[in-house]
Amino acid sequence: MYSNMSSAGRQDYYTNYFRLDPSKEVEGLWNVLGYYVYGLKFVFEYYFKNLSSWSWYYPYYFAPLLTDLQFYLQAMVLGEQGLDKFDLGAPF
């Protein structure tokens, strides 16, 4: 499967912290992973380029499991998923 974590442990993690069942709600899991990767892009651009957006935020409190992130990034490399540009917006 994905990692050394049992599938029950993985399911419990996503059920408790994201309120979704990763085996049944795959689109919801991909949404969480997409926001997390987008957040990594935001932090990179903030520190190494310039502020990318005034209004963007990570809508979850916890991070997804790295093993799931690995499969998401592999899908991005294969061209199944991409990252959009940030909308700069205005300060609050």
Q: What is the pTM of this model?
A: 0.77
Q: Is 84 a member of any domain?
A: no
Task: State the residue range of the domain holding 42.
Answer: 7-77
The Cα 10–Cα 77 span in angstroms is 24
Helix (DSSP H) and strand (DSSP E) numbers for the chain: 3, 0
Tens digit of each residue's pLDDT, the chain (92 residues)? 444 567 888 899 999 999 998 888 888 999 999 999 989 989 998 999 888 888 889 999 999 999 898 888 887 776 655 555 656 677 76
Q: 11 in a domain, yes or no?
A: yes
Whole-number Å distance between alpha carbons of 33 and 71 = 10
Q: Number of folded domains in the chain?
A: 1
Residue 42 resides in a domain: yes
